[in-house]
A and B are shown apart, each in its own frame.
Chain A
Amino acid sequence: MKILVCISKSPDTTSKIAFTDGNTKFDENGVQYIVNPYDEWYALVRALELKEANGGTVTTITVGTAADDSVIRKALAIGADDAVRIDAEPTDAYFTAMQIAEHAKAGGYDLVLAGKETINYNGSQVGGMIAEAMDLPFISLASKMDVNGSTVTLETEILGGVQILEADMPLVISCAKGMAEQRIPNMRGIMAARTKPLNVVAPAAIEALTSYESYTLPEAKSACKMIDPENMDELVALLHNEAKVI
């Protein structure tokens, strides 16, 4: 079984979010990049578990510049066999997805896995776009996945519940919480990652369809109003009369 896992970098979850250049660019000053948690904890780790159970290979793919190589090496340290980096700035989800699809079409992959979203742009776009570009079925927000022969059984999140679905490979799947547990790379993995193949390929000619014009930060909250814990009638009155939410 050949599995391709889409890996994006994202700022560490504790990063302070700020912008520069007249609020048009994310301020990377002091920001530590990690593998996007959905890509790592769920897509990559589940892919490795499936490989361990059924044999096969796990390849990661990233659209990014050489600055992303350390994040890619982290994915290799967790256990991916090799990595592909499409050497371009990932300008929007469409650009990124079409680059990945171009590569994946020729790769003969049985499964293409992505995280359900990145924690910086939260678009939930790349997985579905890859599926359409490859004319493959797409199962989104999967929280469980099992493979039996050529058939994949999945549990996916729907509004207020879950669905159990079944489909034949090849498939594109976006991965959500529940798929797998986080794995911490060990020293052997980190050492091995240094010599695993990281293939840098030139991008295809694709034009982005969207762009971020500017960013704003939420307005600071006014000071919290403290309520006497004995007096919940007061809170209810405030929620009704002042906040007007009940």
Chain B
Amino acid sequence: MATLVYINSRNGLAKNSLEAVTYAKKLGSDVMVVTAGNADEAMLATLGEYGASKVMVDRSVATDDSQQLTRLITTAAEAVGADTIIFSHDFVAKAVAPRLSVRLKAGLISGAIDLPSGDSVKVNVFSGKAFGNVKISAGKKIISLLPNSIQPEGGGSACSVEDFNGNVGDSRIKLLETKKPEGEIPLPEAELVVSAGRGLKGPENWGMVEDLATVLGAATACSRPVADIGWRPHHEHVGQTGVAIRPNLYIAAGISGAIQHLAGVNGSKVIVVINTDGEAPFFKAADYGILGDAFEVLPRLTEAVKKFKASN
């Protein structure tokens, strides 16, 4: 049997796509990739380096309509005889994987954070406050891998890329407009994140957060109150009711660390907390703490990172 990986290749090959192919390879079966859109053939061929034997691309699918992509993946899974389908748990997977589960009557594990152990797979539950081990009882399996849970492993050689007709039918959803701020690093897949809360006192002070993010090559994030009062856009809100992230480094300035905020960030590998209040609960979840004023510490940290980058 083969393992089929769906990747989103519309904006190039993101790291989370390479993670998904690497994950599939580690499951042991032959790995096929299916994707939609007009991605460059040579670029898709590089997925072979991560373990794919073949990439199938349907160039007729213009949008990420979940009905069309479900039909595409179903057709591809039948064509290659796949019993396991892997996604990266991004916004497309969240719409498509559940549909595919019903269509194929395949058990779906969403938000996997590790390879299967025995016959179960570890996932985040209770918004990152615990882990669950989920077992699939159906014959077919779908696993949607949380970004930044495993590292991509290259080293193989390029693979073949074939045009594929997924019989996707018509879309009943019209895409009117896509709005994407230029130059920002998308938060869900960022490895480094600089975040700030109400301690920053106003949106006009976010320059120092952005300065630090820029020198680090980090994404910016914020706490819920900051998004609610409109200092920052909603898509930057991390926490229980916002985005859950698991970067390598999370720097939090002026965020007290309420349990709902921690739920969104406690998958981070390393947490740095900057706060004037030594009693802030966030220090208990932090690896490194700085008891001090963000207005002084952030610019100082930015300078220290600049100095480090210049000498490395």
Which residues does A use to contact B, with CB under 8 Å? 11, 13-14, 17, 19, 37-38, 41, 93-94, 97-98, 116, 119-129, 131-133, 137-141, 143, 153, 156-168, 174, 177-178, 207-218, 221-222, 224-227, 229-230, 232-233, 235-240, 243, 245-246
A163–B306 Cα distance when bound, in Å, is 36
Interface hub of A116, A161, A209 (most chain B Cβ within 10 A) = A209
Q: Closest Cβ of chain B: how far from A27's Cβ, in Å?
A: 11
Q: Point out the residues of chain B lying under 8 angstroms from A131, CB to CB.
A: 66-67, 98-99
Considering only residues 246-278 of chain B, those with a C-beta below 8 Å from chain A are 248-249, 259-260, 263, 266, 269-270, 272-273
- Say yes or no for B168: interface residue by CB 8 A criterion: no
Q: Which 5 A-B pairs have the closest CB atoms?
A: A229-B292, A128-B98, A161-B180, A160-B186, A209-B107
Residue of B nearest to A234 (CB): B304
Q: Point out the residues of chain B lying under 8 angstroms from A222, CB to CB.
A: 287
Q: Flag if A246 contacts B216 (CB, 8 Å).
A: yes
Q: Flag if B109 contacts A245 (CB, 8 Å).
A: no
Q: Flag if B97 contacts A128 (CB, 8 Å).
A: yes
Q: Point out the residues of chain B lying under 8 angstroms from A214, CB to CB.
A: 120, 132-133
Residue of A nearest to B286 (CB): A224
Can you list 28 A-B pairs, Cβ within 8 angstroms, ordered by A? A13-B241, A41-B241, A94-B101, A122-B110, A122-B123, A122-B244, A123-B110, A137-B66, A158-B178, A160-B184, A164-B176, A164-B177, A165-B176, A177-B227, A177-B242, A209-B108, A215-B131, A216-B131, A217-B130, A224-B287, A229-B296, A232-B301, A232-B303, A236-B308, A237-B308, A243-B269, A246-B249, A246-B308
- Say yes or no for B291: interface residue by CB 8 A criterion: yes
Q: Closest Cβ of chain A: how far from B7's Cβ, in Å?
A: 13
Q: Flag if B173 contacts A165 (CB, 8 Å).
A: yes
Q: Flag if B136 contacts A210 (CB, 8 Å).
A: yes
Q: Flag if B181 contacts A160 (CB, 8 Å).
A: yes
Q: Flag if B234 contacts A143 (CB, 8 Å).
A: yes
- Say yes or no for B138: interface residue by CB 8 A criterion: yes
A164–B95 Cα distance when bound, in Å, is 16
Contact partner, A17, options B67, B129, B133, B289, Cβ 8 Å: B129
- Say yes or no for B300: interface residue by CB 8 A criterion: yes
A217–B11 Cα distance when bound, in Å, is 36
Contact partner, B134, options A13, A126, A212, Cβ 8 Å: A212
Q: Point out the residues of chain B lying under 8 angstroms from A140, CB to CB.
A: 66, 91, 94-95
- Say yes or no for B189: interface residue by CB 8 A criterion: yes
Q: Flag if A236 contacts B305 (CB, 8 Å).
A: yes
Q: Flag if A239 contacts B272 (CB, 8 Å).
A: yes
Asked, given contacts A177-B242, A224-B273, whether A167 binds B105 with beta carbons under 8 Å apart, the answer is: no
A214–B122 Cα distance when bound, in Å, is 9
Q: Flag if A232 contacts B137 (CB, 8 Å).
A: no
Q: Flag if A224 contacts B289 (CB, 8 Å).
A: yes
- Say yes or no for B135: interface residue by CB 8 A criterion: yes
A174–B125 Cα distance when bound, in Å, is 19
Q: Point out the residues of chain A lying under 8 angstroms from B292, CB to CB.
A: 229
Residue of B nearest to A143 (CB): B234
Q: Closest Cβ of chain B: how far from A86's Cβ, in Å?
A: 17
Q: Flag if B288 contacts A224 (CB, 8 Å).
A: yes
Q: Point out the residues of chain B lying under 8 angstroms from A159, CB to CB.
A: 11, 90-91, 186, 188-189
Q: Point out the residues of chain A lying under 8 angstroms from B301, CB to CB.
A: 232, 235-236
A163–B95 Cα distance when bound, in Å, is 14
A235–B133 Cα distance when bound, in Å, is 36
- Say yes or no for B70: interface residue by CB 8 A criterion: yes
Question: Could you give, for residues 71-101 of chain B, a 1 whenever the CB lies within 8 Å of some chain A CB and a 0 otherwise?
Answer: 0000000000000000000110011111111
Q: Flag if A137 contacts B95 (CB, 8 Å).
A: no
Q: Flag if B108 contacts A94 (CB, 8 Å).
A: yes
Q: Flag if B184 contacts A167 (CB, 8 Å).
A: no
Q: Flag if B137 contacts A211 (CB, 8 Å).
A: yes
Q: Point out the residues of chain A lying under 8 angstroms from B248, CB to CB.
A: 245
A131–B96 Cα distance when bound, in Å, is 10
- Say yes or no for B111: interface residue by CB 8 A criterion: yes
- Say yes or no for B283: interface residue by CB 8 A criterion: yes
Question: Could you give, for residues 174-203 of chain B, a 1 whenever the CB lies within 8 Å of some chain A CB and a 0 otherwise?
Answer: 111111110011111100100000000000
